[in-house]
């Protein structure tokens, strides 16, 4: 996501999902998982694909 506006646009669909569901955003690269202030989990695609426990974060 190249700009703040684009990121907001992409995450708006997650904001409409009830809070009982885990919200995971897969980004390009190998970044380890982190959680933003809204509770969305972000992680790199390579990390997601190569770690069997990636969804446990």
Buried b (16+ CB within 10 A) or exposed e, 4-30: eeeeeeeeeeeeeeeeeeebeebeeee
Number of domains in the chain: 1
Structure tokens, 5: 């506006």
Residue 17: phi and psi, rounded to 5, are -90, 135
Residue 4's pLDDT is what?
82
* pLDDT tens figures, 7-52: 888 899 888 888 888 899 999 999 999 999 999 999 999 999 999 9
pLDDT band (50, 70, 90) for residue 2: low
More confident residue, 4 or 27: 27
Q: Per this entry, what is the length of the chain? A: 57
- Give the strand order in the sheet containing 41-44: 24-27, 41-44, 34-35
**Which pLDDT does position 24 carry in this prediction?**
93
Q: Is the pLDDT of residue 1 over 60?
A: no
User: Domain range holding 20?
Assistant: 4-56
């Amino acid at each position: 996501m190249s700009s703040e506006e684009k990121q907001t646009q992409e995450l708006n669909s997650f904001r409409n999902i009830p809070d009982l569901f885990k919200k995971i955003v897969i980004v390009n690269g190998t970044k380890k998982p982190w959680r933003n202030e809204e509770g969305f989990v972000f992680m790199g695609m390579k990390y997601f694909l190569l770690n069997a426990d990636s969804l446990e974060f």
